[in-house]
Chain A
Amino acid sequence: MLQGDATRLSFEGGTYSLQAASAAAATGSSDPVVPVAEAPAAALPEPQTEGRTSLTIQEIALAAHIAKDLPPDTEPGLSATYFFEPKNFTFPFGTHIAVVEVDRETGDIKFLRYVAVDDCGKVINPMLVDGQIHGGIVQSIGQAMYEEVVYDEQGQLITGTLMDYAVPRAHHVPHFELDRTETPSPGIRWASRVLVRQVRLVLHPLLSEPSLMRCRHSVLSISTCP
């Protein structure tokens, strides 16, 4: 499976939360090629060596490309482009719980625990799945607590450097306690689900206004803090 390489793929949307993995899982990579390979079978040469009953892929490819004895209406070559449309879209799901301590005097938020259980169907590569979840949590913490693009009245960007625009670093984020369930996705052959960075959608309301962040900005009238 190839993804994220515009020099080799005519159409590609980036890894986009492992969508390509899910698509590959859904189709099975050999499926689209098989009908093409069968088509010129009549034109294939006999194995040259006595007792051999099979051809190498190189021999088949050569015969398909030279196209000397292809049957009528058969396209030369041995490639196929296949567009896949699933029977239905798939969605991951999960629950994230952030246990935080709010300093009522300063509005500071401190994570005590962060527990997340997500389900993206059949897991193909656990490391990539965990990586998607780590990334989603950290982006969410950034969005909810630190990151903001701010322009002044003249339209000048005033959070233009990493000295002003806070991207969360390691010491800003808690230890993640992760677990998963694997609910097979109906209609997808390998039962995987696209693990969209839906984590962000989960976490953002947890930490952002109008809940915890209000504390920080209204610490001077702390009664509004939930």
Chain B
Amino acid sequence: MIAAQFDYKVPNSLEEAVSLIAADPDGSKILAGGHSLIPAMKLRLAQPQVLVDIARIKSLAYIREQGDEILIGATTTHYQLESSALLRQICPLLPLCAASIGDVQVRNKGTIGGSLAHSDPAGDWPAAALALKAELVLIGQGGERVVKADDFFVDFLTTDLQPGEILREIRIKKPTGKFGHAYEKVPHPASGFAVVGVAVNLSLKADGSCESASIGVTGVGVKAYRPNGAESALSGSSLNDAAVIEAASHACDGVDLNNDLFASGEYRCHLAKVHTRRAIAKAKASAK
């Protein structure tokens, strides 16, 4: 439970952080809230040579509207997202997801960027990022690139982040028209991580039928994913009970199911279907 030896650097700006990790791209790790990385280091699952702590770069923590987008700085804490009056109004899925994470202490320290960059198979933010079709802004010495959430989560604890790159910003298109959000989660009783988490982002037509649906599911497979069968079953449907049940039945189609002490793969898949159905119903009920 004691981490291997490492160097610790505290840059004052993003530019400085980028050049610090450029010096040793493979041996460096970015530290923000430390709620994913530090436990991994204590178990020696991660043994970085250099930790570059970006939590004190003030300009990396923000939530703002810009044109038709919402911009979120990578070191914005779960609590800042949970308590944002702006987000509750224009994108409630973010505060809903934030509120389900850990406890108050964790939410005050942990960051959205850290959670996304870690891609824990039981993390909450990947589900919300997928459901909101977020774009992630990555910066390295070669400049910036923007990656869609769909392409960002690659595998178990693996993202598209390359050595020497830092996740700087999360960009989300502001939901427009009539829309509804919901996040349903079964927390593990000990760790609080998601055994199953389902984020739903519904766009409705004036008559209440479904214009489009995007859904993110976490906890069920090696990484968070979008259940395409469920989304396409909803799209254009009337959202009546039968349509919602049919859509939810595709919640874990084709997924290599996680299987652990607390929940078998079969039980997880069952929970994913139940909570996908409930999340769709909640999102529909909350739509305005």
Please say whether chains A and B are actual partners in one complex.
Answer: yes
Once A and B bind, how many residue pairs between them come within 8 Å at the CB atom? 30
| A158 close to B (CB within 8 Å) | yes
Contact indicator per residue, chain A 133-172, by CB within 8 Å of chain B (1) or not (0):
0000000000000100010000000110011111100001
A105-B274, A106-B274, A164-B261 known; A220-B267 Cβ under 8 A: yes
In the complex, chain A residues whose CB is within 8 Å of the CB of B266: 220
B274 and A166 contacting across the interface, CB-CB below 8 Å: no
In the complex, chain B residues whose CB is within 8 Å of the CB of A166: 188-190
Task: Report the bound CA distance from A220 to B274 in whole Å.
Answer: 12
A146 and B270 contacting across the interface, CB-CB below 8 Å: no
B191 and A164 contacting across the interface, CB-CB below 8 Å: yes
What's the dominant secondary structure at chain A's contact region? loop
| A219 close to B (CB within 8 Å) | yes
Task: Report the bound CA distance from A137 to B271 in whole Å.
Answer: 29
6 pairs of A and B residues whose beta carbons are closest in the complex? A166-B190, A166-B189, A163-B191, A105-B274, A146-B189, A163-B190
Contact indicator per residue, chain A 167-191, by CB within 8 Å of chain B (1) or not (0):
1000010000000000000000000
Q: For residue A83, give the distance in angstroms from its CB to the closest CB of chain B.
A: 44
A162 and B189 contacting across the interface, CB-CB below 8 Å: no
Given contacts A162-B190, A166-B190, 5 further A-B contacts (CB under 8 A): A106-B270, A106-B274, A108-B186, A158-B261, A163-B190
In the complex, chain B residues whose CB is within 8 Å of the CB of A158: 261
Q: For residue B123, give the distance in angstroms from its CB to the closest CB of chain A.
A: 14
Contact indicator per residue, chain A 79-114, by CB within 8 Å of chain B (1) or not (0):
000000000000000000000000001101000000
Q: Kindly name the residue among B189, B266, B270 whose own CB sees the greatest number of chain A CB atoms within 10 A.
A: B189
Binding site for A on B (CB under 8 A): 39, 186, 188-191, 261, 266-267, 270-271, 274-275
B191 and chain A: residue at smallest CB distance: A163
Task: Report the bound CA distance from A166 to B191 in whole Å.
Answer: 8
Among B189, B261, B270, B275, point to the contact of A220 (Cβ < 8 A).
B270
B193 and chain A: residue at smallest CB distance: A163
Task: Report the bound CA distance from A146 to B189 in whole Å.
Answer: 7
A165 and chain B: residue at smallest CB distance: B190
B186 and chain A: residue at smallest CB distance: A106
A219 and B190 contacting across the interface, CB-CB below 8 Å: no
Task: Report the bound CA distance from A219 to B270 in whole Å.
Answer: 9
Task: Report the bound CA distance from A163 to B1 in whole Å.
Answer: 13
In the complex, chain B residues whose CB is within 8 Å of the CB of A162: 190
A-B contacts, 6 of them at CB < 8 A, read: A106-B275, A146-B189, A150-B261, A163-B191, A164-B261, A219-B267
In the complex, chain B residues whose CB is within 8 Å of the CB of A219: 267, 270
